[in-house]
Amino acid sequence: MANPENGVNGLSIKEGKAEIGLGIFFTIMGIVFLAIIIPTQIKYVEGAYPQPRFFPDLISALTVVLGISLFIQGYRKNKANKENQETYTFKWHETRLVLITLGIIIAYVASMYFVPYLPATVVATGVLVTVYGQRKIWKIILTALLVPGIIYVGMTYGLMIRLP
């Protein structure tokens, strides 16, 4: 049997390197949101306070700051002591679940062009609950109906936001 510590059953990475990689990722994503996505997707509204871009800009700026902080922390850990760092191992089963979830989310977003919010979300939630191991049909149906239903009612009637 293979030893999971040596990375045979999955990808292993030291804590410092993981933090460096995640710090770079979050910094780049925050910059992309600040420079490209938010300006092209959210309009400036004359006389509005706060601007519709305020909270997305704030969250993106915080993402950049925290990404840089995570990078620096990982760099310091990597430089100081490589032996005392925790090792993260990504096993195939876990990686497969992440990829399946990503595929379901992509299919869900693509389906929103053709199917309204409620049926698309009910199906996506039911599939996700099943993929993550729930086998009791009543729990799958209850979750798949209640979660999107509560979100729909809250957004439509509570916040007066029309969902697709």
- Is the pLDDT score of 2 beyond 60? no
Q: Which range in 58-72, 91-105, 106-120, 147-161 is most confidently predicted, on average pLDDT?
A: 58-72
In whole angstroms, what is the distance from residue 52 CA to residue 97 CA? 35
- Is the pLDDT score of 5 beyond 70? no
Q: If residue 12 lies in a helix (H) or strand (E), which one and from where to where?
A: strand 10-14
Which percentage of the chain shows pLDDT scores above 90? 56
* 3-class DSSP string for 69-117: HHHHHHHHHHHHCCCCCCEEEEEHHHHHHHHHHHHHHHHHHHHCCCCCH
Tell me, yes or no, if the pTM score tops 0.95: no
User: Quick one: pLDDT at residue 79?
Assistant: 82
Note the pLDDT tens digit of each residue in 25-81.
999 999 999 999 999 998 888 887 888 889 999 999 999 999 999 999 999 888 887
In whole angstroms, what is the distance from residue 70 CA to residue 156 CA? 38
Average pLDDT, the chain: 87
For the ranges 63-67, 125-129, 133-137, which has the lowest average pLDDT?
Answer: 133-137
User: Quick one: pLDDT at residue 116?
Assistant: 92
